[in-house]
């Protein structure tokens, strides 16, 4: 076909950058359920404070937390980078007014790439003296890691390419796609 059709769900284009479908919503749902089962099991009888990292994690958090059968609290923090390119630039963290002392905390992330965001966040959270801190991320790009991170719950490990959909954006677009799309390198 000689033209781009954004209604064709196999290919999605933002600012002349092409993405192709990579992980379907059916697989996403299955993986979210598996993670929820593990957390429900590991924390049975305990309370958990989930700290959701905005904005990317809102869809994953919404799906995951509705499958959690524990007594839990939910808070949000904002971790945004300056600029809207496919690289992570400087980080802003806002984490005020959350009582974390002596609580079991699980940080909810959409994706871990270099690990820089989470290693900063974990440091900040640990300074509040919680009882425990773990991380759940839906996606992980292990080959891109710059900071060592102990991630207890990972949904899917993926190739080291840029992805969009299911909360993840390129230039603030594509977050609302129900499936996950990956940069279509061959077609750039």
Instruction: Write out the residues near Mg ion by the rule CB under 5 A.
Output: 53, 56, 110
Q: How far is CA 96 from CA 75, 78, 158, in A?
A: 11, 10, 32
Measured from the CB atom, the residue of 40 and 116 that comes closer to ligand IMP is: 116
**CA-to-CA distance for 64 and 153, rounded, in angstroms?**
12
Residue 88 binds ligand IMP, judged by CB under 6 A: yes
| Contact of residue 114 among Mg ion, ligand IMP, none (CB under 5-8 Å per partner type) | ligand IMP
Among 115, 130, 135, 184, binds ligand IMP (CB under 6 A): 115
Subset of residues 90 to 109 that bind ligand IMP, contact rule: CB under 6 A: 109
**CA-to-CA distance for 28 and 172, rounded, in angstroms?**
21
Cis ω on the peptide bond leading into residue 55 (within 30° of 0)? yes
Among 19, 48, 108, 113, binds ligand IMP (CB under 6 A): 113
Q: Are strands 11-14 and 17-23 parallel, antiparallel or unpaired?
A: antiparallel
Min CB(2)–ligand IMP separation in Å: 29
SS3 content of the chain, % helix, strand, coil (to 5): 25, 35, 40
Residues 25-64, mask of contacts with ligand IMP (x by CB under 6 A): -------------------------------x--------
Among 40, 76, 114, 173, binds ligand IMP (CB under 6 A): 114
Q: What would the two tokens of residue 52 be? A: 């959701």
**CA-to-CA distance for 111 and 113, rounded, in angstroms?**
6
Strand partners, 74: 50
Residue 111 binds ligand IMP, judged by CB under 6 A: yes
CA 54 to chain CA centroid, nearest Å: 9
Supply the residues annotated as catalytic: 113
Residue 163 binds ligand IMP, judged by CB under 6 A: yes
Measured from the CB atom, the residue of 109 and 179 that comes closer to ligand IMP is: 109
**Residues making contact with ligand IMP (CB under 6 A):** 56, 88, 109-117, 162-164, 168-169
């Amino acid at each position: 076909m000689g033209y781009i059709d954004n209604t064709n769900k196999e290919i999605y284009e933002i600012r002349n950058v092409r993405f192709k479908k990579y992980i379907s919503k059916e697989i996403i749902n299955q993986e979210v359920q598996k993670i929820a089962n593990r957390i429900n099991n590991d924390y049975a009888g305990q309370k958990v404070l989930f700290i959701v990292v905005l904005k990317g994690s809102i869809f994953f958090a919404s799906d995951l937390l509705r499958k959690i059968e524990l007594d839990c609290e939910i808070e949000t923090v904002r971790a945004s980078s300056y600029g809207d390119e496919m690289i992570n630039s400087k980080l802003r963290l806002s984490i005020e007014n959350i009582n974390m002392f002596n609580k079991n905390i699980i940080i909810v992330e959409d994706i871990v790439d270099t690990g820089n965001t989470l290693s900063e966040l974990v440091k900040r959270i640990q300074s509040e003296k919680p009882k425990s801190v773990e991380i759940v991320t839906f996606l992980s790009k292990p080959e891109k890691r710059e900071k060592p991170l102990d991630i207890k719950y990972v949904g899917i490990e993926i190739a080291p390419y840029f992805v969009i959909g299911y909360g993840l954006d390129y230039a603030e677009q594509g977050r609302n796609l129900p499936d996950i799309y990956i940069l279509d390198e061959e077609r750039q």
